[in-house]
Chain A
Amino acid sequence: MQRYIYKNKNLITLISGILIGLAFISKFTTGNMNIFQWALIVASILGALPIALQAYQSLRVKVVSIDVLVTIAVLGAFLIQNYEESAIVTFLFLFGAYLEQRTLNQTRSAIKELVEMAPESALKLMENGEFEEVDIDDVDVGDILLVKTGAKVPVDGTVLSGEGYINEASITGESVPVEKTEGSKVYAGTILDNGTLRIVADRVGEDTTFGKIIELVEEAQDSKSEAERFIDRFAKYYTPAVLVIGFVTWLISRDIELAITILVLGCPGALVIGVPVSNVAGIGNGARNGVLLKGSEVINDFSKLDTIVFDKTGTLTMGNPSVAEKEYYGDNIDEALKYLASVESESDHPLAKAVLEEIGDIELLPVENTEVIKGGGIVANVKGHRIAVGNVHLMERENVELSEKAKKDIEGFEKNGNSLVLTAVDGELKILMGVRDQIRPGVKEDLERLRRLGVKNLVMLSGDNQGTVDLVSRELGLTEVHGNMLPEDKSEYIKKLKEKGQIVAFVGDGVNDSPSLALADIGIAMGGGTDVAIETSDVVLMNSDFSRLPHALGLVKATARNMKQNIFIAVGTVAVLLYSLLFSNWMNMSIGMLVHEGSILAVILNGMRLLSYRLRN
């Protein structure tokens, strides 16, 4: 019986709505008050059934819920034979709950999409040697699985045989397919674009990287900030308090109408749901855009950010030096390039790598009598020519004459922050190359966006030497840079900033700077969803994509604003209702319920706006 009523709550709502409609039609057309009364009585009883049941069940577990308030109010209305109010209030309450459920599902949709990306079944190698489709829960570590084209990888595992391209967007945010062959690691939730793989399960279910991401997001949307816990505690005593106030009012005034109106007006709906709704919509937007936010506490702190500290040069630069500028002198350059490539191909110096990448495929010649000059470069013989590859000191040592133009070029290259590679053939300068670590595309604009969002200081702490970091700083206009920093220096520095009262975010890859990530007010991990990063940080940028950072900051600011708006709506509604009850004569139970449900829908709709939030340029 109980279950039947719960199951058909929507039907009950519909019938009671129709009955109320009928009642009023008959009143205004035929003036038949009999039908009017009876239709409303039936609507009241029908509508009150599920509410009263819920009220009873919650009292049984010692909770005074909103259902209890509404049930008593309806009983009171019945007692004074005001069937119009009892019918309308029950209907509005049920219909409101229905709308709330529908709209709440919307605010939660973004996170639901993420959860639904989790694999549900797998093709498992059974004892009879055949692959059979099994539920994902029946897969254990060590099982051998088959992944076919278009299917989701069901577990974190290692490829045993086969080849294919996998789209790892769900883990890394990177949609360019990655080639997988024997021995490659594959991740649950990623999709095999083409090929067939046989894999062995290393981690299953919630232990997989994807499982951890889902768990993190799910817990995050329900994690509560100090303010929310306060509201929860408040609500726990608030509802019983309303009940008591209603009762006392009745004792004093003997006015049932007034007492039950207070019960309905006192329902704390929008207040308790306002903040969680903003929270879930904000976190949902983040999840959809590759930004994992761990809960509403993080959102609050993050939105008040003063200072962002970057952990290394590589966050802002490409991380691998390349040839940025070059000049040729005299003729026979093609030959000179061959000599240069031949000499450099014997070296493992980072500059040599950049030079070879720049030259590309070229014929390599045998190199003889190679001599490495410390702090200078390399001198060697190729096809009887004396080849010197190195910096300006080496050229001086080799007595290479530098023309006025060459001197000017060298000066210019150095000013742009290049390391120089000069090539001389038989004492004559042929090639000048400038190698530098280039700023990642878009980083400059992103830093500008961060500043416009209110970040005061942009700081870089790097293990590189001061000269290198100064160059990056000059190009990007950072507030402060410090080179030659060890991990412990970095955490010490963050401690100092915090002592100065700043709210500090630390951006790192989570590999060797976990202390700093944990110490900062907000630890932001930029590391393709590695375990360490997910666990130690407060915010994870899924793809190591720097451009997500401004979006993340803009989003948390919008979310924090949204929460405040919702609290304002909720508190404002109760204030207006109480004021009208005391100082006006148009307030009654039905209007109270209407406004109450309206305010709940208002905060949900307001929260929903966050789902489509995008950073404006």
Chain B
Amino acid sequence: MKSATIQLDTLTCPSCSQKIEGALKNLDGIDKDSIKVLFNSSKVKFNFDESKLSIDEIESEINMLGFDVLKSKVK
């Protein structure tokens, strides 16, 4: 398990966080309980299994929802 922090472009509606959380929950390989969408700092934090999916796949999923990824950090 790796933990990731993704910095997004400004989130403006709290339902955005619901969307992102919902989308990530559907991905196989993400620890569902670890998903934290920080509305005000426009960040997403979660743990994921690198053998099942890559950070790039997760980023493109978020992009698809209409949110720009500014920076991501995995460790």
By a beta-carbon cutoff of 8 Å, the part of chain A in contact with chain B is 2-3, 6, 50, 53-54, 57-58, 60-63, 65-66, 97, 100-101, 104-105, 108, 111, 115, 137, 218-219, 221-222, 232, 235-236, 239, 269, 272-273, 276, 279-280
Task: Report the Cα distance A58→B26, complex, angstroms.
Answer: 12
Interface of B is mostly: mixed
- One digit per residue, 1 when the CB lies within 8 angstroms of any chain A CB and 0 when it does not, for chain B 1-37 equals 0000000001011110011001101100000000000
Task: Report the Cα distance A65→B20, complex, angstroms.
Answer: 12
Nearest B residue to A275, CB-CB: B14
Task: Report the Cα distance A239→B14, complex, angstroms.
Answer: 13
List, in ascending order, chain B residues with CB within 8 A of A111's CB: 40-41
With beta carbons under 8 angstroms apart, the residue of A3, A50, A60, A62 that contacts B63 is: A3
With beta carbons under 8 angstroms apart, the residue of B38, B64, B73 that contacts A219 is: B38
Contact B14 A272 (CB under 8 A): yes
With beta carbons under 8 angstroms apart, the residue of B10, B25, B39 that contacts A105 is: B10
Q: A269-B13, A272-B14 provided; 6 other pairs, C-beta below 8 A?
A: A2-B66, A6-B66, A54-B66, A58-B18, A101-B12, A105-B10
Contact A58 B12 (CB under 8 A): no
In the complex where A111-B41, A219-B38, A222-B40 touch, is A66 in contact with B13 (Cβ < 8 A)? yes
With beta carbons under 8 angstroms apart, the residue of B14, B26, B40, B66 that contacts A108 is: B40
In the complex where A101-B10, A272-B13 touch, is A62 in contact with B22 (Cβ < 8 A)? yes
> Is B53 an interface residue, CB under 8 A from the partner?
no
In the complex where A62-B22, A232-B14, A272-B13 touch, is A57 in contact with B40 (Cβ < 8 A)? no
Contact A222 B65 (CB under 8 A): no
In the complex where A53-B66, A222-B41, A276-B39 touch, is A63 in contact with B12 (Cβ < 8 A)? no
Count chain B residues whose beta carbon lies closer than 8 angstroms to a beta carbon of A: 22
Task: Report the Cα distance A65→B52, complex, angstroms.
Answer: 30
Nearest B residue to A9, CB-CB: B66
With beta carbons under 8 angstroms apart, the residue of A57, A137, A222, A279 that contacts B38 is: A222
Task: Report the Cα distance A54→B19, complex, angstroms.
Answer: 10
In the complex where A111-B40, A219-B38, A222-B40 touch, is A61 in contact with B23 (Cβ < 8 A)? yes
Contact B40 A58 (CB under 8 A): no
List, in ascending order, chain A residues with CB within 8 A of B26's CB: 61
- Chain B 27-75 residues near chain A, CB threshold 8 A: 38-41, 43, 63-66, 68, 73
Interface of A is mostly: helix
Task: Report the Cα distance A105→B65, complex, angstroms.
Answer: 21
By a beta-carbon cutoff of 8 Å, the part of chain B in contact with chain A is 10, 12-15, 18-19, 22-23, 25-26, 38-41, 43, 63-66, 68, 73
List, in ascending order, chain A residues with CB within 8 A of B13's CB: 65-66, 97, 100, 269, 272-273
Contact B41 A235 (CB under 8 A): no
List, in ascending order, chain B residues with CB within 8 A of A54's CB: 65-66
- Min CB distance A588 to B, Å, is 24
List, in ascending order, chain B residues with CB within 8 A of A105's CB: 10
In the complex where A57-B19, A63-B18, A235-B14 touch, is A218 in contact with B38 (Cβ < 8 A)? yes
List, in ascending order, chain B residues with CB within 8 A of A279's CB: 40
Contact A218 B15 (CB under 8 A): no
List, in ascending order, chain B residues with CB within 8 A of A50's CB: 66
List, in ascending order, chain A residues with CB within 8 A of B25's CB: 61
List, in ascending order, chain B residues with CB within 8 A of A280's CB: 40
With beta carbons under 8 angstroms apart, the residue of B41, B66, B73 that contacts A218 is: B41
List, in ascending order, chain A residues with CB within 8 A of B10's CB: 101, 104-105, 108
> Which 7 pairs of residues, A with B, have the shortest CB-CB distance?
A61-B22, A221-B40, A222-B38, A65-B15, A61-B23, A280-B40, A218-B41
With beta carbons under 8 angstroms apart, the residue of B23, B38, B41, B64 that contacts A2 is: B64
Contact B39 A235 (CB under 8 A): no
Contact B40 A97 (CB under 8 A): no
- Min CB distance B4 to A, Å, is 13
Task: Report the Cα distance A272→B43, complex, angstroms.
Answer: 18
Contact B38 A58 (CB under 8 A): no
Contact B15 A222 (CB under 8 A): no
- Min CB distance B22 to A, Å, is 3
Contact A63 B40 (CB under 8 A): no
- Interface centre among A57, A62, A63, A221, by most B CB within 10 Å? A63
